[in-house]
Structure 1
Amino acid sequence: MMPWGHAAFGYTLYSLGHRVWTRAPPSAQAVLALLFGTQLPDLVDKPLSWGLHLFPQGYSVAHSVFVAIPVGLLVLALGVYKNRATLGAAFVVGYWSHLVGDILMAMMEHQRSPFDRVLWPVVTLPPYGHEVSLLDRAFHIIGTFFHSLSTEKQLLILGIYLAPYFLVFLLWVVDGAPVVAELKRAVVGR
């Protein structure tokens, strides 16, 4: 899943869950904590693999349920202790939704063992078939996306690809555009 996919998936889960729980849209601070949580596993593991070559794949320490569960519980406990339970919960939903998203993507790709991505160090994924660097990987991901748009069915592909993001965007607007609304109030003063 791409970074924006993790962000959209996590935002949807958190926003809808928060509305069910509190009958209110999420706050800007909670959205920022959530977004950080949705990106954290890749911000840790991809550089360790692609940049520093410490792991054979970009799924290791931060993607591991053996790390994510204790870290999440610790953040929740710290949030409760500091009277910031909402921020702790938002971070945990973001972090854990990242792992769920990676498992779901592996299932959709019909991988034999979709849970392997989150079982480090019990399971270590085999190395990539070739040397991977951060820039190579970024260019490959972007190139693959743009190549998919150069086919005859590009409008259909683009529509299918963008439809879920449009729905998340609408949910964000219904929520009052958290973060952007607060920035606007800070700048404009209203």
Structure 2
Amino acid sequence: MRARFQMVRIGWQRVSFLWKASGKPGNTSLSLSHKSIKVSTNLDEDLLMFVALPFLIFYASFSLLLGIYDARTGLLPDRFTCPLLWGGLLYHQICLPERLPDALWGAIAGYGGFALIYWGYRLRYQKEGLGYGDVKYLAALGAWHCWETLPLLVFLAAMLACGRFGVALLVRGKSALINPLPFGPWLAVAGFITGWKVFFPDG
């Protein structure tokens, strides 16, 4: 998605250059043509944002819901994670079709990566070290953020979770080791952070 913003930015710079050139004497027909290009570019951007906005609201709402639900119950239900995953793929199919393969591989990588951790830990220690809801949630995040963003997203979530655990350990001591720390809220926060950097790269 970052590449798409770069393409829009480069295209806008070219249109601006042609617009300035059209203001020179003798460039009347060129001026009309480039004004049409500028209007068309603005309409395309407005239409894309109009179509994408409901998807982004859907993503933000479900991620916030999953983060809060996991923090309160320790669960990430399929009735929330599955629609989020399919919503991410549908978003790319409609708004960014050239990125759909990356979104699909993001879902596969998210699910496969966390599933390996889940089963590896369970076979080694005979207990769960990671909830299977986290596996499905990362698959959904992969469908939205695409595969290349997942390493940064997981790293941020892990750092946030470690920071939260460190604070709990300092405050409550060894009693903090009794209750497992939900990972879903930190995946949600990391998703918002990486998503912000994608949509607002200069922010």
Give your verdict on TM over 0.5.
no
TM, length-normalised to structure 2: 0.29
Q: Which has the higher helix share?
A: 2
- The higher relative CO (CA closer than 8 Å, separation ≥ 6) is in 1
